[in-house]
Amino acid sequence: MLEIAPSILSADFAYLGDAIHAVEPETSWIHVDVMDGHFVPNLTIGAPVVASLRRHTKSILDCHLMITDPWDYLPDFAKAGADSVSFHFEVGRTAELIQMAHDLGMKAGMAVNPDAEFEHYSQYIPHLDLLLIMSVFPGFPGQAFIPEVLKPLRRARELIDSSGAQTILEIDGGISTETIGSARRAGAELFVAGSAVFGKPDPAQAIIDLKETAVLAGREGD
């Protein structure tokens, strides 16, 4: 698998439907950043916006919940039409959240911050549909890629492959044509990109460029 998940956090919020339609020819994933102003120092959108997007797209709505109490909101996101939800390992109750997401019919994802210790969360990886490794500290778009996350990314790839798990390895933060190659070689397969897509004059072409760079990097790593 190699896919780009454009983050609508970097799109024009007045024209989200148009932004999604502009990238749909090149991807089937849309990344939705949900921030509560508590877990991260920023406030964005919630389940009502996801419900509105759902009415206008059949793409996979990949919701990243940067919130302190995701267990209170998973039913709302399921009802809104979210396909996957990634809650943060740092908020706790991980096993409960995985089961809750599955019971609600969504893919269960777990996000980990750049400073998370791999040994502290690795036990959950085989039970996840997605593992989202943050390559920036969450909260704001446009941050620089933190290269130190390549080590846990490689370890996660090795664990997924050796265990036979079907977990999708996702990375988010500072992804561009300059950084996607190293992330691909480390084992990532789903790449969240915000300004590298919606900050370009032609978002669809930006996705093509990102994919081509990742494919080339994968060949070099073989």
Q: What is the pLDDT of residues 177-214, one digit of tens each?
A: 999 999 999 999 999 999 999 999 999 999 999 999 99
DSSP 8-state secondary structure symbol assigned to residue 166: -
**Hey, what are 197's tokens?**
């897509």
For residue 142, what pLDDT is reported? Answer: 72
CATH 3.20.20.70 fits 3-221, yes or no: yes
Determine whether 33 is an active site residue. Answer: yes
> 110: helix, coil or strand?
strand
pLDDT for residue 121 is more than 50:
yes
Query: Considering 129, 172, 202, 222, which one is annotated as catalytic?
Result: 172
Active-site residue (options: 33, 83, 129, 209): 33
Give residue 143's pLDDT: 81
Q: Is 172 a catalytic residue?
A: yes
> What span, in angstroms and rounded, lies between the C-alpha atoms of 27 and 211?
10
